[in-house]
Chain A
Amino acid sequence: QKEVEQDPGPLSVPEGAIVSLNCTYSNSAFQYFMWYRQYSRKGPELLMYTYSSGNKEDGRFTAQVDKSSKYISLFIRDSQPSDSATYLCAMTHPLTGRRALTFGSGTRLQVQP
């Protein structure tokens, strides 16, 4: 079983829709949570970074963390065709030797104009 599970999609929505992207994880030691956006043939780009449970908003993006359920979400309001990309969740914990991020496999989002 993977430590981080993410539905691969593709998820297809009409322009203007609210998008919900989700990840579940199994290791309760994870403390920092990130969302990355990856366009085709490009590297992942950091969108959101959060530590605590609750919501964090940045423009049209809201990251939500529920540590009790080991569940994180990214909401995109008023989705645009330019939001079409693969979205990767990532998380990390401070144990010695674990010095990098654990990624979900990514959800491909298509926003139809």
Chain B
Amino acid sequence: IAGITQAPTSQILAAGRRMTLRCTQDMRHNAMYWYRQDLGLGLRLIHYSNTAGTTGKGEVPDGYSVSRANTDDFPLTLASAVPSQTSVYFCASSEVSNQPQHFGDGTRLSIL
């Protein structure tokens, strides 16, 4: 079934550790996104990529980095995790930017 695959599904991580969340899509969508979802705050954009080889900052980019080496993969890296990064992280994609987005099922990350 076509869609977005995120890994891991959940993770507990010690503060200060480095962590990469993986996202792969098989729909050949040009645009990809990373959001975090926190209670009462909704979904907030961390980083986005309109096409392979380009990335941009969203609403809450600090502490996160991304790369887009090819169309299908869009990993999100936390260089040195802090407890405030405890959240549910969703990867999404769309055919082109400003079009409806399709979401993965998320990674639940707890930073202790």
Taking a contact as CB atoms under 8 Å apart, the answer to whether A105 and B56 are in contact is no
Q: Chain A residues with Cβ under 8 A from B31's Cβ?
A: 99
B110 at interface, CB cutoff 8 A: no
Taking a contact as CB atoms under 8 Å apart, the answer to whether B97 and A99 are in contact is yes
B48 at interface, CB cutoff 8 A: yes
Known A-B contacts: A99-B50, A99-B98. Give 15 more (CB < 8 A).
Answer: A32-B98, A43-B90, A43-B92, A43-B106, A44-B43, A44-B90, A44-B103, A46-B100, A92-B98, A93-B98, A94-B98, A99-B97, A100-B45, A103-B42, A105-B41
Q: Chain A residues with Cβ under 8 A from B98's Cβ?
A: 32, 92-94, 99
Chain A residues bordering chain B, tally (CB within 8 A): 24
Q: Chain B residues with Cβ under 8 A from A88's Cβ?
A: 42-43
Question: Chain A: which residue is nearest B96 at the CB level?
Answer: A99
